[in-house]
Amino acid sequence: MGRLSNKVAVVTGATSGIGEGVALMFAAEGAKVVGVGRNDKKGAELVKRITDAGGEATFIRADLLQKENVSAIRNTALKAYGQVDVLVNGAGVLVHKPFLQQNDADLDLILETNFRSCVWTMQSFIPVMVEAGGGSIINIASISAIWPESNAYFYGAMKAAVNKLSRDVAREFARQHVRINTILPGPTDTPMVPDYVKNDPAVMQEVIDTLALLGRLSTPEDIAYAAVYLASDESLMVTGQQMVVDSGVTISNP
């Protein structure tokens, strides 16, 4: 407990899946959490869960497809807490279908949600962190960035772009003590699991048996543990790195 005491963390995609898991664990570790999402009801529920447990949080309803909303998130967070020490880019969408069926609308959605929003948030929050003497940015990528995954072509390409961007920007701002790292989750038990997997126990078990060498899918909490480390002062010497959390999927086929 208390690994993130005195830190303020902005978490996008905080109303579902990995983002929600990260927000909850950050609060449990003492961070003041600014959750960002598009669902007011789920945002209110997130804040209630955190405050009922003795934590501190606020929710900002914002669509990251609009650049002006990113500045509003930054300004609201600074007005509420006076600082931002950690940024977690957890917002993301998955289009899962054969390559020839993926269209321009799918590409635009993946590009804007999974990549462009990371560009905008980092450009908005890095100056805040530089002025404060440092900070930690954690971009949630995917093993799709480094491991072939059928039917997730645009998704994997944009996650690879997030990895590359994170590493390059980390190099530019290392001297200012702004650390930028990525987490690459494998199959994780969230609403983003494709319907044909989560709705068929036999298919789900096949995925676990053939790919998840550690015997189960990851949970949002598994990913959040990695995020806590990268957000905390325990990782002050870690930047420009990618942390794979995948139950052994990427080593399942030597």
Statement: residue 196 has pLDDT above 70:
no
What is the number of structural domains in the chain?
1
pLDDT number for residue 45: 97
Closest-CA residue to 32 (of 1, 62, 13, 10): 10
CB 135 within 8 A of CB 230: no
Beta strands in the chain (DSSP E): 8-12, 32-37, 56-61, 86-89, 135-140, 178-185, 242-245
Once rounded to an integer, what is the mean pLDDT over residues 80-85?
Answer: 97
Confirm whether 22 is domain-assigned: yes
Give a yes or no: residue 33 inside a domain. Answer: yes
Q: Which of 23-32, 48-57, 147-156 has the lowest mean pLDDT?
A: 147-156
Token couple for 60: 């900002």
The pLDDT value recorded for residue 230 is 98
% the chain with pLDDT above 70: 96
Q: What is the pLDDT of residue 157?
A: 96
Task: Answer yes or no: is 241 within a domain.
Answer: yes
Question: What is the pLDDT averaged over residues 87-108?
Answer: 94
pLDDT class of 253 with cuts at 50, 70, 90: confident
| Rounded Cα distance, 169 and 226, in Å | 20
Average pLDDT on 61-89 reads 95
Q: Is residue 1 part of a domain?
A: no
Q: Judge whether 98 lies within some domain.
A: yes
For residue 31, what are the domain limits? 8-251
User: What mean pLDDT value characterizes the chain?
Assistant: 94
Kindly list the catalytic residues.
Answer: 155
183 token code pair:
């987490």
Q: How far apart are CA 149 and CA 156, in angstroms?
A: 8
pLDDT tens column, 147-187:
998 899 999 999 999 999 999 999 999 999 999 999 999 98
- Residue 124 belongs to domain with CATH number: 3.40.50.720
pLDDT at 1 over 80: no
215-248 residue pLDDT tens: 999 999 999 999 999 999 999 999 999 999 999 9
Find where tokens 């989750």 sit.
185
pLDDT at 59 over 80: yes
pLDDT tops 90 at residue 192:
no
Average pLDDT over residues 181-196: 83
Write the DSSP symbol of residue 2. Answer: -
Do the domain assignments include residue 219?
A: yes
- Is residue 162 one of the residues assigned to a domain? yes
| Whether the predicted pLDDT of 57 surpasses 70 | yes
